[in-house]
């Protein structure tokens, strides 16, 4: 469950476990290239009258392009999340707090999943840590071996 009834939260922390498919409306308009669903595991607890703390882990796989050699890569999305949901109008000013509409009947963590996934995939991936990239002069993939340019420039 990724949307939790506040009455359950009044009784204690609630496990938030679920999967969001790439086509889920939570990701609408982000233009993400998710390979499969994003797995959400977490725990939501009430920390104030109108305030809830969510600690979670998000995992999935993302399609991308190596920033050095432009090869297609699939890399893991793997991120820890700690966010606050609050219906307190004062907290609405704080960009790190997810606002809730009063009166709060349920806490839906999906807006936080959306944002955190978007943040996690903006990093430019590498096909591997030591990717040699492309030659700036001839465009050859230097992972396949040196091109002729180095010899020419000497």
User: Which among 131, 117, 151 is positioned nearest to 19, based on CA atoms?
Assistant: 117
Residue 140: strand, helix, or coil:
coil
Rounded to 5 degrees, what angle do the CA atoms 119, 32, 41 make? 60
Query: What tokens does 63 get?
Result: 């399609």
Least Å from the CB of residue 61 to Zn ion: 17
String of contacts with Zn ion for each residue 111-150, x by CB under 5 A: ----------------x---x---x-xx-x------x-x-
User: Which among 66, 16, 63, 57 is positioned nearest to 38, based on CA atoms?
Assistant: 57
Least Å from the CB of residue 151 to Zn ion: 10
String of contacts with Zn ion for each residue 58-97, x by CB under 5 A: --------x-xx----------------------------
Query: Are 56 and 41 in contact, with CB atoms under 8 Å apart?
Result: yes
Q: Is 1 in the site for Zn ion (CB under 5 A)?
A: no
Nearer to Zn ion, 118 or 140 (CB): 140
Residues binding Zn ion (CB under 5 A): 66, 68-69, 127, 131, 135, 137-138, 140, 147, 149
């Amino acid at each position: 469950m990724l949307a939790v009834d506040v009455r359950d939260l009044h009784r204690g922390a609630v496990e938030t476990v679920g999967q969001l498919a790439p086509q889920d409306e939570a990701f609408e308009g982000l233009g993400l290239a998710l390979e499969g669903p994003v797995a959400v595991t977490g725990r939501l607890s009430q920390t104030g009258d109108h305030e809830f703390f969510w600690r979670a882990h998000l995992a999935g796989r993302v399609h991308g392009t190596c920033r050095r050699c432009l090869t297609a890569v699939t890399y893991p999305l793997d991120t820890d999340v700690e966010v606050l949901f609050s219906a307190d109008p004062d907290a609405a000013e704080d960009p790190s707090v997810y606002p809730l509409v009063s009166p709060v009947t349920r806490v839906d963590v999906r807006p936080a999943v959306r944002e955190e996934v978007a943040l996690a995939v903006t990093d430019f991936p590498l096909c591997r840590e030591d990717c040699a990239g492309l030659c700036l002069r001839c465009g050859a993939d230097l992972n396949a071996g040196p091109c002729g340019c180095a010899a020419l420039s000497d």
